[in-house]
Structure 1
Amino acid sequence: MPIYSMTGYASAQTELTSDTANSPALRLGLEIRSVNSRFLDLTFKMPEELRQHEAAMRELVTKHLKRGKVEVRANIESTADTSFAEPTPALLQRLLGLQELIHAHLPKANGLSVADVLRLATAQSAAPADIGPAVLKLAQTTLTQLSDAREREGARLAQTLRERIGQLRVLATQAAPLVPQLVEQQRLRFLERWREAMALTEGTALPEAAQDRALTEATSFAIRIDVAEELTRLVSHFDEMDDLLAKGGKAEGVGKRLDFLIQELHREANTLGSKSATMEMTRISVDMKVLIEQLREQVQNIE
């Protein structure tokens, strides 16, 4: 199953059938934009004549999208050479009656201009009465396009994540042999210090108590810098992330699960750095944190 990004854009248009012969040819347009968000946040921007269909459109969107800040824009425009509808005599008579009624209560109110009449005439014929099926059909088409766009972006994100996880695996592999080498070096260093402290000449046997103390110090040091558990957990998290990316849409809330694993990776990398006893281990920890931060930025866009 594919991985879906929360970032995407789609638009579609359709011609509307006019109710009367005098009504202008109309076009219904729909745009859907989405960006990343922790939850599904829907915003609708549409003319008043389409507001009655918002609930049905909202239900349709929630069936397709689970997370993201989504903006739905709808508009109706004329496809005729002129953007103004021709006012009918009945409409002109009605406007005149309304104007006289208003003037009776507000004598100082301005009269209707030609531009006002044309604008009102266009508004009267802005949409057919039964536009609902056309709106929902166009919304379905646009959502399908948006889903395709989010899938393409999701595939790019998944590929980037796999590359970063592969680089993290290499760093973990580099860190694994450093601890035994460092422990052995530190053991020899402790023994050398005890020889110097007791002014022993080369080849003289080291007192058993001093040797035991040196080995105890070396063991304590080894425990403090041991990162075997951290490396094991890191590899386990890498495997879990690869598994989630492979399952894709089958894993519900894949984006949130990946985000949780990123937090765990960051915690283990921090512990790796705090236990570091060499510049090489510190470098590995820093490089891991850089890659994990890049992972976090990409995961924020996955649904």
Structure 2
Amino acid sequence: MVTTNKTHVVGFSFSGITDDATLVPVLFIFFLKVYLVTFVGNVGMVILVLKTPNLHTPMYFFLGYLSVVDLICSSIITPKMLLDLLSIKKTISFTGCALQFFIFAAMAATEAFILSNMSYDRYVAICHPLHYASIMTKKKCWCLVLFSFTVGFMQSLVQTSCVFNLEFCGSNHIAHFYCDVPPLLKLSCSDTFICYMITTSIISSCGVGSFLTILVSYTFIVSSILHIKSSEGRRKAFSTCSAHLTSVSILFGSVFFVYLRSSTSDFGKQDKVASVFYTVIMPMLNPLIYSVRNQEVKKILRMASQRTQKPVH
């Protein structure tokens, strides 16, 4: 352990994603491919939204920012995890740990709010189609995105200040593959109850608040869809929401599993698996889900593919 005095460590070490050396090559190749797909998919989605006039709508406006958030979230976690897979010593400085946690916590909360914005957009589109253009104005969309990022960074600042002002005078070994609240609190020799309550309250407020917004929106959406007489109309209405619901289910399911539990619960392998889903896998899945489940995006991608395959005379 490296310390400057008895109360402040200057660095941490990670346990990493696995203790089994035989799995390292397989995991490295797998997560490298995941990150490359994540990078290409999210950058591609942003470019597609920016360059395609047909996609200059509120839903794709939010989707573009969701891709930006996913790219940042993945990039702050995955490259370091890949490097640690190849390293004997998996270390990070105290400042680096705080910065990693700050950016990740900000992006995680921002993603939850953007997903709730997207559910509100779908609610207006399906329940109030005649007033959609007047309700979902460009100004309102910008305000919703600005609110998401502002609250995301503010709550992250509070959490980071709380956790990294604790005293760490024992082990500096984090039982995880990145800097996160549960394993960090277990390392502190301070009284962590207040910090635990603050972080739990913030995560609950952001997570449960966003989830309730989504739940209420979809309650009205389902009610409206069930009143549509034609089965084809109901199918089209449901198809516009399926990609969003898939993303919401994976994200909130894994996040609630890790964070909204007792502080005395051991941080085990199942927590690492859940963490991998929302830090590494989810940022890759979002652009794939919205590409595969969205007819508009699929149509544009097919047209782009046909243009690139057309022979040059």
Q: What is the TM-score when the length of structure 1 is the normalising length?
A: 0.27
Larger Rg: 1
TM-score with structure 2 length normalisation?
Answer: 0.27
